[in-house]
């Protein structure tokens, strides 16, 4: 009985690993110059959640030294559902799964702090008060609020 259960478990894992979006590895490198990569897969063209993720990535790049890669879902295996987000190869958000594919600045900034991601020597323009208020208004208009 143990052998049958083990065989069934191995077969189920093999099947799940071939389904798009499940147990999927991050495309591209997971580290660049010793830094974990933030990888986004977005719909083509990006919708609400994908736009949010790209905007969050832009804000994070203005505060942290983190390499960011963005792939359109059309470059992924057939059946892949976007958005999907990885950090250092670990899946942190996925459409229909973790966080339903949508990340937030606060959650990732907290994670970056815990992981010791280096901060920018000087924050980027998106975080400057004059620009940030316009950027926040843009984000709200995309969300329809």
Return the higher-pLDDT residue of 123 and 142.
Answer: 123
* Residue 17 forms part of a structural domain: no
CATH (domain of 57): 3.40.30
pLDDT in tens, 122-136: 999 888 888 888 888
The answer on pLDDT for 25 being more than 80 is: yes
**Global model pTM greater than 0.85:** no
> Read out DSSP for the chain?
-HHHHHHHHHHHHHHHHHSTTSSPPPSS-SEETTEE-EEEEE-SS--HHHHHHHHHHHHHHHHB---EEEEEGGGSPTT--S-EEEETTEEEEETTSGGGG---HHHHHHHHHHHTPPBPSS--GGGSHHHHHHHHHHHHHHHT-
The pLDDT value given to residue 5: 46
* Residue 36 forms part of a structural domain: yes
The pLDDT value given to residue 130: 86
Range of the domain at 100: 24-143
* Residue 6 forms part of a structural domain: no
* Residue 101 forms part of a structural domain: yes
* Residue 13 forms part of a structural domain: no
Question: How many domains is the chain built from?
Answer: 1
Q: pLDDT-based confidence at 45, cuts 50/70/90? A: very high
pLDDT in tens, 71-119: 999 999 999 999 999 999 999 999 999 999 999 999 999 999 999 999 9
* Residue 58 forms part of a structural domain: yes
Return the higher-pLDDT residue of 32 and 133.
Answer: 32
């Amino acid at each position: 009985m143990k052998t049958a259960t083990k065989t069934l478990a191995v077969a189920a894992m093999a099947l799940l690993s071939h389904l798009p979006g499940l147990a999927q590895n991050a495309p591209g490198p997971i580290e660049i110059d010793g830094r974990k990569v933030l990888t986004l897969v977005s719909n083509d063209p990006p919708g609400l959640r994908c736009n949010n993720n790209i905007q969050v990535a832009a804000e994070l790049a203005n505060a942290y030294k983190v390499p960011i890669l963005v792939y359109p879902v059309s470059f992924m295996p057939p059946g892949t559902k976007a958005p999907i987000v990885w950090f250092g190869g670990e899946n942190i958000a996925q459409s229909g799964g973790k966080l339903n594919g949508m990340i937030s600045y606060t959650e990732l900034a907290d994670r970056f702090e815990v992981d010791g991601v280096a901060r920018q020597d000087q924050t980027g323009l998106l975080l400057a008060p004059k620009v940030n208020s316009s950027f926040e208004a843009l984000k709200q208009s995309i969300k329809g609020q």
